Structure 1
Amino acid sequence: MKELKVSDKAGKIRRASDDVVREALADLAHGGRTTHRIGGHTDWYHGAAVSPDGSRLITANRDGTARLWDIASGQCLMVFRGHTSEVVRAAFMNHTDRAVTTDDDGTLRLWDCATGACILVLKGHHGRVAGLAVSPDDRYIASSDSFWALRVWSLPEGTCEHSAAGINNVTRILVTRDGNTMLTLDSQHDILRWDFPGLGDPSLVASGDYWDIALAGDGEFVAAGRDGLSCFDVRIGSRKRLYSLEPHKPYKVTTASDETRFVACCSPGETVLVVDSRTGAIEKQFTGPRFVTDMILSPDGKTLYTAGFDRTCNMWDIGTGECLQAIGSTRSVHHLSLSGNGVYLAACDKGDTVKLWNLTDGSQRGKFPGATSVAFLESARLVVTGHDDGRVRFWEIDSGKERPGAVLQAYSSAVACVLPLESGAFFATFARHGVPKLWNTEKRNCLKIHSRAGNIDIDTTAIDEDTQRVALRRQGKNHILVCDLRSGDILATLTDHAHKYGNLSVIITGIRFLPRGRGLVSCGRDGLIILWDLSTFKAARSIHVGNSILSMAVENDGRHVVIGTHTGGVERWDLESGQREICRPPEGSPVAGLALSPDESRLFVSFSDGTVRIIDRESTALICSLWNVDDGFFWFTPPDEHAPDGWVWTDREDLLHLVEEGSEGKVLGAVPLSDERRRAYIMTRNNAAIVQARLKGLDEYARVARRYTRALADEQNRVEVHPRPMLPGET
């Protein structure tokens, strides 16, 4: 019988203990199982809400998802997917295990918090739905959009029962605890009172510089404004008290459920004040987060939750001012580059950090902060990175050194792009506010500066294989400049892409020269792939793909291109016939970057959810995925017959969220961080050997995985025949 072995986070292999085997096998028992969630938000937070019992938190993020969190452990219980744009607001229902979220696309969605299923989609708004409230009895949802409309929806049908139009853009909605009155705050900083749910003629409660409102109990509400915190009578609309907090200017406010305290986020200095609601005395003051978009107190009034543009959702102890926990966000990768031998992958993310990965063993070989672009200089065995400080830095690929081998001051502004020439013997740099430059790699000197092109604010660039011509797209412009690389002369201006597409003014997202002089190809958010004839500089062929294109890679045959779409699809197009092949169906998360391995057997795709996925070209099977965590590494595989939840390999076990599910797949709760089941799960699923085998190929993975699962079955038989003796005190 083969011995079952597991690998630790350092990749060291050792024999699994009987306890680990028992706990791992318990997941296979009928009636429930332990599974995991991975990933996190990738952008700033628009809103947050706490469940009525104070045990869970829901976050609304610009990345198009909402997430359900277990507050005690900080683990993600559920990811709500289905919105097509930014998720703006979130709220829990008061008496059912459901939540509602709003979107930039004008929809609301009602979710089952046990299964993650979308129960209802409420349509009728136009533009961003920024206002949201649930009635105390859960019978109604009130919402508002950026096109000056209010709507009241009845549940469970989701029918729009009442609406009002022609009002100012409402940014905050409150429904009083008796369910008879609704208060709104609009973009003109006016507060209106409405009958609810009927939406009769509203009455003006207060007009002026008010930025936020919250219910305060005893028929009152509190407003944060230029003068401080104002307490109003809901029924008659008169201001009863004003608490000046000078020099602080509150712009967000929330209240404790016992109605004894207000908590206000103020500027300047992003100060958080805890204020006695009866006297206005400041009980506590501490420095909070920057750029708060939403804030709420826990039901017991002891914990403050803030969401913000700083890409974090923080939990604060009101008594001490200590930040108890921060739910951060990862960064999506917008540019991928592969070394000529296919061994190394360089990924540049939206946080201006480049990371270098060895694809044979999955190890991270370098991390370069402040880098805005990257290229491999094959002949010199170097990686060159362009930085936001205008410098170009050289790194030895195999050294693993934390300091660059050389540094050049190329520009006074950020380097936008670095492109290798002639296998890396030379390279070109382009600046966001500067002129194109050509460099000698070995001598590290600038050969030529193309001043004729001027400071052209480069955003997207390509150079032909003969290093004769360069194609450029200016930042914020929707035409392509084709220039002579050696003289700097502008040869042509290509203008067939749309000047505007919906609300988007920047259209062109990719430019590539085809090999052997076959032409130039461009793509854009207007859904067009255009093949340009370089002898006439006219469009030889236009293909409309029916979806916004965000990224593109060109195959070696010069006939096929691979594109990534806004809806998360990956497609291969024949430029001659116009035929399409689906490489990956749309998954909802936009494709931010694409790259082909040198032998074109693998496709590397970066998504806006912060992952990079490696796809087998022939079978279109997903081989492995890399999660772009800020520190450490995190690889994971798709579910299959060997592992229903897939395998992971990471040194960030804190980012592996373990969830207990019932027999019907309903989430029962998070597995506590100190629970033995968590230790057992991680010991068996965090497996370096299996993930590394999958990186080598699907056949190698199948061989290793079969051997591992057979060993697990053998261990199951051994444990059942020789159970662990019961220890004294156990029952």
Structure 2
Amino acid sequence: MKVGFNFSNLLGTVYCSGNLVFTPDGNSLLSPVGNKVTCFDLVNNKSFTFGFEHRKNIARIALSPQGTLLLSVDEDGRAILTNFVRRTVLHHFNFKSVVHDIKFSSDGTHFAVACGRKTEVWRTPAHDEERDFAPFIKHREYTGHHDAVTHIEWSGDSRFFMTSSKDLTARVWSLNPEQHFVPTTLASHREAIIGAWFSKDQEKIYTVSKDGALLQWEFTKKPGQDYDDDDEMDAEVEERWYVVKRSYFNQNSAKVKCATFHKESNLLVVGFSTGVFGLYELPEFNTIHTLSISQNGIDFVTINKTGEWLAFGASKLGQLLVWEWQSESYVIKQQGHYDAMNALTYSPDGNRIVTAADDGRIKVWDATSGFCIVTFTEHTAGVTAVQFSVRNLLFTASLDGSVRAWDLIRYRNFKTFTAPSRLQFSSLAVDSSGEIVCAGSLDSFDIHIWNVQTGQLLETLSGHDGPISSLSFAPDGSSLVSGSWDRTVRIWSIFTRTQTSEPLQQQADVLCVIHRPDSKQLTVSTLDGQLTFWEIENAEQVGHVDGKKDVSGGRKVTDRVTAANNAATKHFNTIAYSADGTCVLAGGNSMYVCLYDVASGSLIKKFTISRNLSLDGTQEFLNSKSLTEGGVKELFDDQGEASDLEDRIDRSLPGAKRGDLSERKARPEIRVTGLSFSPTGRSFACATTEGLMIYSLDNTMLFDPFDLDIDVTPDNTRYVLKEDKDYLKALVMSFRLNEKYLIHEVYESTPVEDIPLVVGGLPTVYLGRLLRFITLFMEDGPHLEFGLVWIESLFESHGKWIKENKAEVEAEMRRVVRCLKRVQNEVARLGDENGYTLNYLLSQPRPAPEGGEKGLKFIEDTNGESESEDVDMEGADDEWKGVSDSE
């Protein structure tokens, strides 16, 4: 089994905090998800998450106008510069201050950073320089605000930029010294300014404050005064930025939380604290739309380059929405779980992943695109277990005392199972035929069994002396296994008359039990950190793993003991078998997921789920600087020192000692609550505090050069291709550079008659990449037969090697089969359509030619072949003088 799993995607979390950014083409949206960044392709309906991660949650992101550089900054001011196209980290930097906003200039040569009360402008790292030892070079520093700078806006020509601050002012600065320019202060608001923008012609400035005031500024004489001809010279001196118009949103005391302005279409979008947003046309201030899209306040809003799509982010419930305002329809409407995930499972075909959480919701995710397909909300309490059955049936167990069956074809709940007494079900098992469903509870020591078709309770199995913690049906349906806190695992033969059970004694409380895919072996996880392997037929232990040290996680800020002595993180809460049954994946209340080999009991690989310091339990040792006599600094309530009044208000009830219970003040803890391998064995998913993480073997092709030397360059490759006509050498050089456009150029420049020779001499190390690129070009390009010639030549020359080393090109062969299947379906469909079209055309009556023209008279010769001769049609009185086909 291959174990080279790498982080592939993050599902279940679409927005946490910070700002949203559209790509320059407006087709993709970047969203911060914890300490990572996710890109949503809105046109192709796909998403991916960048592999890098910050030390803490991301506060701000910015994308260069060329769409090549991504700059992300976390809560502590630590920045990461990334090549957006290659998804490669270029540089790390520390601004040493909290960053409230960051923007690239319109020409992309500089970027401005709002660090506290000052604004810093830096040079954008140049990609054309051969060596760049100092990627971040400060251009200039601007000071003058008396409070934190919250917003930065550049002018269209990148000569000026404007900053907004909590000190109720906005200031206009010049990038470089300008003649006759003096930095301008715009002060007329009564509350903190949310944003300030230039108009397209830069003749107007619009500012929006938190109290809902919109001010329009113009560079003119002081309004409201009359000037005589004698005062013309003095009037010119008095020209400056003045408020010429005041407007108010009037949203019933709702505060403005975010706003954005689109210069080309003069559209202003404002989000309010009540979850309502308004769309206005300036400068007339005409209301186009007012719509409520969230139950809580909107944290950020942005608009794409064309002005068609509006993107909204609400961190309270983790909502991300993209709305097309002209058609009044949603492009995407995604929301993650706003509470901890408890369980997950793959569908039998591996295309979908189902997650369940404490918020009572069940979400079905598309494993390929990363989007949520449907959300079920019928459960009234936290959902603790999910499991698939045959015929696209999904079963869930919940703390509301019900087990529900879902039809994932019609997306409905068609059956609900309950116990005679009120119980909170915490474990679930379904047999292979989908006819029997079992559930266990921590409140009762019995196992309840229902018939799926009738919905009636068939049996209650008794025998355990403690709460039931885990259930598992054998894949072949031969037995049911249950684990309990009474330190026993019982094997039940529920389909026999006696319904006997055989107990297997354990050394500690049982947390999880699971069958191997062949139903011959059992793995048990206990509270002492042990994994034991049992043979079911003889009921004997065949191996064990001591995983206390492997899974031992970090230290929480409230822990009185060190991480090495903390027993709370030294056991596995969830385990999963690989598709072939040779390995076991295990995770618990820590940031580690361990992969063990069953036969030898050795640790194969250890995955670190997250190193986000915003979560509790990601550090092995605590920093002594944060430990004071009053406790840990991170747990201090600094709400009373906030500058905004609404942040300082204490909303707790009089006499309450625990504060407002609706607000979560505790830090979330890193933990793994669910694990599942895909049926293909090429990926696995783990439900964590940060979301649903996918680890996969099938990574997309990025810039991964190998065997490079100084002579392998794009120019030399083109020279070899066009001048030397050495197509094999050019192909190998393009593969070494691994540039998609260069491979495409060599691929299409190769003559058809030379393809067998080129493929025959290609080293086998490049065969997998060649197969991958051929299928990619066949899917995107018009040259269908050309690609089929490549594939045929490749199989003729290297078919034996591919057969002997099929494990190395397994993913590529699947892509070839999928591509050929798609081509076959398209050709068949096209042939059917052409046949229908030809039948339609042949069934139509022939048109009569106009008089005076020459037509064709078809005469069948003796051999059945048709000949044509010119016939004078003049005076034919619009009648066809030719002989019909039947004649």
TM range (shorter): 0.5 to 0.7
Distance in 2, Cα, partners of 1:298 & 1:706: 34
Structure 2 counterpart of 1:49, from 7, 21, 40: 21
- Residue identity opposite 2:163 in structure 1: L
- Aligned residue in 1 for 2:622: none
Secondary structure of 2:20's aligned partner? strand
Match of 1:322 among 313, 319, 328: 328
State the distance in 1 between where 2:174 and 2:291 align.
Answer: 38
Q: 1:192 to 1:388 in 2, by over 3 A?
A: farther
Between the aligned partners of 2:554 and 2:482, the Cα distance in structure 1 is 24
- Cα deviation digits, residues 462-517 of structure 1 (max 9, x gap): 9997735389xxxxxxxxxxxxxxxxxxx99xxxxxxxxxxxxxxxx998675589
Which one-letter code corresponds to 1:348 in the other structure? T
Instruction: Give the match's secondary structure for 1:662.
Output: helix
Check whether the contact 1:564–1:570 (CA below 8 A) recurs between aligned residues: yes
Deviation, 1:322, is: 0.9
Provide the residue aligned with 1:374 in structure 2: 385
Q: Which amino acid aligns with 1:183?
A: T
Alignment correspondent of 2:878: none
Once the two structures are superposed, the pairs formed by residues 465-484 of structure 1 within 5 Å of their partners are: 467-469=484-486
The answer (yes or no) to whether the contact 1:437–1:446 under 8 Å persists in 2 is no
**Cα gap change, 1:89/1:57 in structure 2, threshold over 3 Å: closer, same or farther?**
farther
Superposed CA offset, 1:654-675 (max 9, x none) = xxxxxx9522699xxxxxxxx9
Answer whether contact 2:405 2:414 (CA < 8 A) is retained: no
Q: For residue 418 of structure 2, what is the aligned residue in structure 1?
A: 407
Q: Report if the CA contact (8 A) 1:347-1:354 is conserved.
A: yes
Whole-Å Cα distance in 2 between the matches of residues 526 and 572 of structure 1? 14
Which among 366, 378, 391 is matched to residue 402 of structure 2?
Answer: 391
Q: Which residue of 2 aligns with 1:131?
A: 101
1:255 and 2:261 equivalent? yes
Q: Distance in 2 between matches of 1:561 and 1:105?
A: 38
Match of 1:230 in 2: 215
Residue 73 (structure 2) aligns with: 102
Q: CA deviation at 1:393?
A: 3.7
- C-alpha displacement of 1:131: 1.3
Does residue 285 of structure 2 align to residue 280 of structure 1?
A: yes
Distance 1:550 1:63, change over 3 A: farther
CA displacement at 1:314 relative to structure 2: 0.7
In structure 2, C-alpha distance between the alignment counterparts of 1:395 and 1:78, rounded to whole Å: 29
Superposition TM-score, scaled by structure 1 size = 0.53
Shift of 1:183: 0.9
**1-structure distance, mates of 2:673, 2:744:** 32
Task: Give 1:92's aligned residue.
Answer: 63
In structure 2, C-alpha distance between the alignment counterparts of 1:285 and 1:356, rounded to whole Å: 31
Q: 1:581 to 1:322 in 2, by over 3 A?
A: same
- Aligned residue for 2:249, secondary structure, equals coil
CA distance in 2, matches of 1:344, 1:95: 35
- Quick one: structure 1 residues 227 and 346, their matched pair in 2 at CA, closer, same or farther if it must change by over 3 Å? closer
Q: Confirm or deny that 1:527 pairs with 2:549.
A: no
CA contact (8 A) 1:110 1:121 kept: yes
**Counterparts of 1:128 and 1:44, CA distance in 2:** 24
The residue number in structure 1 matching 2:640 is: none
Q: Is the 8 A contact 2:553 2:591 kept in 1?
A: no
- SS of the residue corresponding to residue 47 of structure 1 reads coil
Q: Which residue of 2 aligns with 1:348?
A: 355
Q: What is the rounded CA distance, in whole Å, between the counterparts of 1:144 and 1:110 in structure 2?
A: 17
Q: CA offset at residue 429 of structure 1?
A: 2.5
- SS where residue 121 of structure 1 aligns? strand
Q: Report which of the two has the higher share of helix.
A: 2
For structure 2, the residue ranges without an aligned partner over 5 or more in a row are 1-7, 126-134, 220-238, 367-372, 451-456, 473-480, 489-507, 510-525, 533-540, 556-560, 613-670, 703-738, 746-776, 789-805, 828-833, 839-887
Shift in Å at residue 243 of structure 1? 0.9
Output the amino acid matched with 2:211: R
Name the residue aligned to 1:594. 675
The DSSP-based 3-state class of the residue aligned with 1:404 is: strand
The alignment status of 1:553 with 2:559, answered yes or no, reads no
Against the structure 1 CA distance between its residues 78 and 167, is the aligned structure 2 distance closer, same or farther, given a 3 Å change threshold?
farther
Computing the radius of gyration over CA atoms, which structure comes out larger, 1 or 2?
A: 2
8 Å Cα contact 1:315-1:324 kept in structure 2: yes
Alpha-carbon offset, residue 125 of structure 1: 3.7
1:215 aligns with 2:215: no
* Candidates 110, 124, 133, aligned match of 1:155: 124
Q: Which runs of 5+ in 1 are unaligned?
A: 1-37, 358-363, 472-490, 493-508, 530-538, 615-621, 626-635, 639-659, 667-674, 686-696, 719-724
Residue 270 of structure 2 aligns with which residue?
264
* Counterpart residue number, 1:581: 604
What whole-Å deviation, never above 9, does each CA across 1:200-219 have from its counterpart, x for those lacking one?
Answer: 99979466544621304325
Q: What is the Cα deviation at residue 257 of structure 1?
A: 1.1
Q: 1:663 aligns with which of 742, 766, 776?
A: 742
- Tell me the secondary structure at the aligned position of residue 94 of structure 2: coil
2:32: which partner in 1? 61
Contact map agreement 2:311 2:320 (CA 8 A) in 1: no
Correspondence for 1:174: 153
Contact kept, 8 Å, 2:120 with 2:140, in 1: the verdict is yes
Letter in 1 for 2:136: G
CA distance in 1 between partners of 2:28 and 2:351 (Å): 39
Work out the CA distance in 2 between the residues paired with 1:50 and 1:154.
22
Correspondence 1:481-496 to 2 at 5 A = none
Which position in structure 2 is the counterpart of 1:571?
Answer: 594
Is the contact made by 2:164 and 2:194 (CA closer than 8 Å) also made in structure 1? no
1:429 aligns with one of 414, 417, 441: 441
Distance in 1 separating the partners of 2:120 and 2:376: 49
Partner AA of 2:674 in structure 1 = G
SS of residue in 1 equivalent to 2:77: coil
CA deviations on 1:393-424 (whole Å, 9 max, x unpaired) are 47899xx9952252348769xx5833679x99
Distance 1:585 1:211 in 2: 42
CA distance in 2, matches of 1:316, 1:387: 37
Structure 1 contact 42–63 (Cα < 8 Å) conserved: no
Residues of 1 paired with 2:342 and 2:743: CA distance? 38
Task: Measure the CA separation in 2 of the matches of 1:305 and 1:215.
Answer: 18
Q: Distance in 1 between matches of 2:675 and 2:211?
A: 49
How far 1:445 moved relative to its partner? Answer: 9.2
**1:114-152 Cα deviation digits (max 9, x unpaired):** x3344643421468744112234433322346x877544
Contact 2:69 2:83 in 1 (8 A): yes
Q: Equivalent residue for 1:8?
A: none
Q: Which amino acid aligns with 1:242?
A: R
Report the TM-score, using the length of structure 2 for normalisation: 0.45
Mapped partners of 2:268, 2:217: distance in 1: 14
Residues 101 and 110 in structure 1, CA contact (< 8 A), matched pair in contact too:
yes
2-structure distance, mates of 1:322, 1:142 = 35
The match for 1:243 among 247, 261, 265 is 247
Report how many residues are paired.
Answer: 543
SS in 1 for 2:414: coil
Considering only aligned residues, what root-mean-square deviation do their CA atoms show, in Å? 7.0
Output the CA distance in 2 between the equivalents of 1:243 and 1:409: 63
Change (3 A) 1:326 1:40: farther
Q: How far does the alpha carbon of each residue in 1:54-109 deviate from its partner, in whole angstroms, 9 at most, with x for none? A: 544431231554455666x3555976442335444333334674443334463334
**The residue matched to 1:221 in structure 2 has which SS?**
strand
1:354–1:369: 8 Å Cα contact kept in structure 2?
no
Question: Following the alignment from structure 1 to structure 2, what is the Cα–Cα distance between the partners of residues 338 and 259?
Answer: 46
CA contact (8 A) 2:427 2:471 kept: no
